Every structure is written in structure tokens, then in C-alpha cells.
Amino acid sequence: MAATKAAFTTDSEMNSKESFRTPSHDGIQTGTTEKTSTASGLKYWAQRLAVETGGIERVTDEDRAENTSKVWNACTFWMSANMAVATLNVGTVGGSMGLSFWDCFAIIMVVNLASCLLPAWTATFGLTGLRMTTFSRYSFGYWGNLLVVIFSMVSTTGWNAVNSISGASVLYALSDGKCPQWAGVIIICTTVWIICSLGITWIHRLDAFLWIPPFIVWCVAAGTGAKHFDGNAIKSPTGANGAAAAFSFIAVIFSFAVSWINCAADYNVKMPVNTPRWKIFVATYIGICVPTVLVQTLGAALYSGTEVNPAWKAAYLDAGVGGPLKMALLPAGGFGKFLMVLAGLSSIPNNIPNNYSFAMHAQNFGPWALRVPRIAFVTFGFVAAVVVGCCAATFFSDTLSTFLSIIGYWTIIHLVVIAEEHIIFRRSRWQNYDWDAWASWELLPFGWGAIGAFLFGFLGAALGMKTAWYTAPIAGLIGKKGGNVGHELTALFCGVAFPVFRYAEKRWTGK
């Protein structure tokens, strides 16, 4: 344990211990004092400005006495994140798959009401004081958790790109192509980087209000564009082909909702330790489910307008979801253009969870990663999102549906392993976790059980997935084009495999 503690010594602690000699104006050796004074000054101003300086270290009961989060933060944070143009974009996918508006609405409503329960549940894990990727060490093991780290970083980078492109398409449509999508991606990602650099206190302060402007946009767009919406514009296919389209859209809606599982706990680690879990659960559920259902439904309605109005169709083909949104807001005149700007910028709070949690994921690579300042990983995530976003914008339609599906497979594995570890092996008792062991590979399992379940889970995905570039054997049996049943098979294969492998790991290793 001494070696472990030494590995976790922070840079500021090492600076105070190192002795070095530099000349001073009075001939006295004062290098160490000056360096310590500078570090103390920076820490002082960071505390005064509520700038976050820590990393994934467990937030103790004593730490929560300062800059404590409130329960309502769990609601407004997620309302801001989901009251976004990317949510609108996801709602259009069903129509592009050939489903009628009413079929899309039924899927959006039913799937979100059920699937939003999952990130709301994992959001309560923040009361442990650990971020979600760090908490995963208790089920995936210290080294097996590297799978969680890598896939979570890929997931957040992908979502950064998808969300940024959605917002950039609105700015592109507003400017009649004068603001290229790559420029919109840079504008959105840069603003997100600034906010995430400040840390969780500023994030909660801003997100208390950032959901309001896009909410106004969607209300106005629904009113001014309503006469162009047509619930009968698209006739859903019947039989096996209809089932295939429905399964594929269900996979997209489900993936969007559960994508927050990997980071939902991160924003509750500063809640007072005596906060009832049910309050966090309810606040998070409302914050995710309500805006998601409303905005995705509007997206499905906007797409129906493209099927009956040639001008809307041309706008959609040129600028994506930003095209029909612009057409819907045309009757509002100059105010409508202002609302378009707000719609494009709604991607900023939508991306905050991704860029912020990217840094938290990265610090789980090992003791060396803890010594890297959080802002360095935030910056790396920002650069990755800009590069991926600018490249993916060219093939956005296929990128969106394919990415949402694949990330959903990984998220299912993450959820199943955590849930079964908690329910089966920890007997749903939080006292069965050793919270002091979160950073100790000697006390945590290696992760063989989770690694085995991970492989079996992706085997299920490989048999049932349906993407733009690959149709799995079982998926291909549903209709002419195939239907996505990868999530169901992933959960089945992983759910059966993990208890077997985890029991064997405990039997052989004792951990």
C-alpha cells in the first residue's frame, strides 16, 4: 500500500517536498518558497472562482461540505443536455427508415419511458462519491475496467461529434451555407471546452438555465410549422418489413436514452451524503425523459413535413435537420432566425456531459493518469471531437444510425455487468463495497469475469446488429432489409455469461 500511496502523490505535494536552489535578490535561497507560494495562490483563486482542480478521487463526506450540488441540479442538468437539436435529429431517423409519424411517436414514447429508468438508476451511484467509470472497477476489476475506459472515451468522443454536427447543420442552414458545418463544429466544441475546463460547479450553475432557450425554440417551431406536419405522409411497411423497421428505430431510440449510463453518476458526487436516492432517481428521470420525448416527437413531425412539401425536402437534403427547422420557423421572420441560432447553440449543453466525463474516463487508465491535470484530458477530448466531427459531417446520416446502435451494444454490456455484480454478488447492499479500495489493484478483482461477459455480449451483438455497412445473420432474417435485434441478444448473452465467469473468478482468485 505504501507504493500505491506514493504513486498517488500529487504534483503540488511533490513540489512542496522537492528542494531546489535558485538565486534571489537578497542572496537567500527562496526557490522552494516562491514555488509553493505560487501553487497556493493558484489554488486560492481556483477555490474563490469555484474552478474544479481535482480528478476522479473519491469525494468524501467532508469534501461535500463545499460547493455542494442540489437535487434539482440533477434535473436541470439533464434537461439542458437533452433539450437539444441532436435529440431533434434522432427523432427524424424513424421517418427516414420508412415509419409513419404515429408509429414513430409510439416507439419514442414507450421506449423512452422504459429506457430512461436505466440512467436514472445509475445516477444514484454518484452518492458513493465515485464517478461511474471508477465505480465500474468493483465489477469489471481494476484491469478489466480498461475496457470500460476505452469504450467510454470512444462513446463520448462519438457523441461529441454527433451532437456538434447536429448543431452545425442548423447554423449551416441559417447562413445558407456560408457557415460550413466544420466551422459550426469548431464553434460548439470550443465553447464546450471552456465550460468543462471550469468544472462541475460552473456546469451546474449554467445548466440551471440553459434548457430554457431551446425549449422556447421547440415550442415556437411546433406552432409555426404545425400546418406542414402530416401524420399520414408516410405509410409504414407491414408484416416482416414493418417489424424490421420498427426494431431498427427502437434500437436507435434506446441507444440514445441509455448512452447517459456511462456518466450519469459523475454529476452527483457532490450531493450531500444523506440525500435520498429516490430523489436523485426521480429528478434524473424527469430531466432525461421529458425533453427527450418532446423533442424527438417534434423531430418526427418535422420529417413528416419533408414528405409532403418539396421545399422542406430540398432543405432537409441540403442541411439535414436544420433545413426543415428553418422552414418551420420562417413565419416567425427575424425572430425565427434568432431562434435558429439558439437551436444551433443547444448542442453546447448537450455536449458538456461528453467532454467533461471524457476527462474522468481517461483518469482511470492508472496511477499515471491521475497525475495528469483534468484540463489536459478535457483539451484532448475537445481536439478529438473536433477532428471526428469535421470528418463525420460528410457522411452524417449513416454515421448517426450506425454510431447510435454500436454504442448501445457497449452500454448494454456495461449496465448488465454492473447490475448483476450489485444485485447478485453484492446483494444490493452498499456496505458490501470497500470504498477505500477504489484505486488499489491489490484489493480489486482483475476482471476476468467481466472480460468474458464482454466478449460474449459482443458475440450477441455480432449476431443481431443491423447497420449501414453490416447486417448480422439473425438480423437479416427479419424482413427484406433486416431488423436490429443486437441489443436484445447482447443483453441475453452477457447476462447469462457474467454470473458464470464472475463466480469462477471469485472461486479461483478470492476477489
Q: Is 474 helix (H, G, I), strand (E, B) or coil?
A: coil
- Pairwise pLDDT comparison (284 vs 474), residue with the higher score: 284
- List pLDDT tens digits, range 494-510: 999 999 999 999 999 88
Per the CB < 8 A criterion, the answer to whether 79 and 213 are in contact is no
The stretch 368-386 carries a mean pLDDT of: 92
Q: Across all residues in the chain, what is the average pLDDT?
A: 86
DSSP per-residue letters across 101-139: HHHHHHHHHHHHHHHTHHHHHHHGGGGGT--HHHHTHHH
| Run of H or E residues at 55 | none
pLDDT above 90 for 14: no
Domain enclosing residue 259, as ranges = 69-394
DSSP-assigned letter for residue 476: G
Within 421-485, where are the H helices? 448-464
Q: Which of 158-162, 433-437, 470-474, 483-487 has the highest mean pLDDT?
A: 433-437
pLDDT at 480: 79
Q: Mean per-residue pLDDT for 243-247?
A: 89
Over 60: is that where the pLDDT of 387 sits?
yes
Which pLDDT score, from 0 to 100, does residue 52 have?
79
Residues 6+ away with beta carbon under 8 Å from 502: 420, 421, 424, 425, 449, 450, 453
DSSP characters over 261-312 = GGTGGGGGTTS-TT--HHHHHHHHHHHHHHHHHHHHHHHHHHHHHHTT-HHH
pLDDT at 503: 94
Q: What share of the chain is helix, strand, coil (3-state, %, to 5)?
A: 75, 0, 25
Mean pLDDT, to the nearest integer, of 237-255?
A: 88
Give me the pLDDT at residue 139, please. Answer: 94
Domain assignment present for residue 2? The answer is no
Work out the pLDDT band at 23, boundaries 50, 70, 90.
very low
* Cβ-based neighbour number of residue 210 at 10 Å: 25
Please state the rounded mean pLDDT for residues 393-402: 59
Whether residue 53 is contained in a domain is answered as no
Query: What are the residues facing 466 on neighbouring strands?
Result: 471
More confident residue, 226 or 389: 226
* Angle between helix 374-392 and 145-174 (nearest 10): 50
> Which cell numbers hold the place of 261?
449510463
At 471, is the secondary structure helix, strand, or coil? strand
d(CA 478, CA 489): 14
Within a domain: 258: yes
Whether pLDDT at 3 is above 50: no
Q: How far apart are CA 165 and CA 218, in angstroms?
A: 19
Predicted pLDDT at 157 = 87
Name which of 421, 132, 87, 422 is nearest 287 in CA terms. Answer: 87
Residue predicted with more confidence, 28 or 472: 472
**Quick one: cell of 137?**
472497477
**What is the per-residue pLDDT across 27-52, written as a single tens digit (0 to 9) for each?**
444 444 454 555 565 555 556 566 77
Could you report the per-residue pLDDT of 409-456, keeping only the tens digit for each? 888 999 999 999 999 999 989 999 999 899 998 899 999 999 999 999
pLDDT confidence of residue 253: 93
Contact 206, 349 (CB under 8 A): yes
Question: For residue 303, which of 330, 332, 325 has the smallest C-alpha distance?
Answer: 325
Q: Is residue 231 part of a domain?
A: yes
- Using CB atoms within 10 Å of the CB of residue 480, give its burial: 0 to 12 exposed, 13 to 18 middle, 19+ buried: exposed
Mean pLDDT value of segment 362-379: 91
Sorted by sequence, the CB contacts under 8 Å of residue 376 that are 6+ apart come out as none
Measured over all CA atoms, what is the biggest interatomic distance in the chain, rounded to whole angstroms? Answer: 89
At 95 the pLDDT is 92
- In this model, does residue 92 exceed pLDDT 80? yes
CA distance 79 to 498: 34
> What single-letter DSSP state applies at residue 191?
H
pLDDT at residue 47 in the model: 61
Cβ 435 vs Cβ 273: under 8 Å: no
Distance, in Å, from the CA atom of 348 to the CA atom of 42, rounded to the nearest integer, reads 28
- 485, pLDDT greater than 50: yes
| C-beta separation of 390 from 185 below 8 A | yes
Would you state the pLDDT for residue 55?
Answer: 84
Which residues are CB-neighbours of 125 under 8 A, at least 6 positions away? 132, 135, 264, 265, 268
Q: How many domains does the chain have?
A: 1
* Mean pLDDT confidence for 54-76: 84
Q: Is residue 364 part of a domain?
A: yes
* Listed range (63-72, 228-237, 258-267, 287-296) with the worst mean pLDDT: 63-72
Residue 100 has pLDDT above 50, yes or no: yes
What percent of the chain stands above pLDDT 90? Answer: 59
CA–CA separation, 113 and 328 (whole Å): 28
- Given a cut of 60, is residue 5 above it in pLDDT? no
Q: Which amino acid is at 15?
A: N
Q: Is 172 helix (H, G, I), strand (E, B) or coil?
A: helix
Is 10 a member of any domain? Answer: no
Beta bridge mates, 48: none
- What pTM, to 2 d.p., does this model score? 0.86
| Buried-exposed string 276-292: b where 16+ CB fall within 10 A, e elsewhere | ebeebbebbbbbbbbbb
Question: What's the one-letter identity of residue 303?
Answer: Y
Q: State mean pLDDT over 66-86.
A: 89
Domain-embedded: residue 164: yes
Each residue's pLDDT tens digit, 134-167: 999 999 999 999 999 999 998 888 888 888 988 9
Mean pLDDT of the region 329-339: 94
pLDDT at residue 20 is higher than 60 = no
In a domain, 268, yes or no: yes
CATH number, domain of 359, equals 1.20.1740.10
SS3 466: strand
Residue 343 pLDDT level (bands cut at 50, 70, 90)? very high
Neighbours of 314 (CB within 10 A): 13
In the chain, the amino acid numbered 413 is: I
State the average pLDDT over residues 272-285.
93
Please report the pLDDT score of residue 51 as a whole number.
Answer: 75
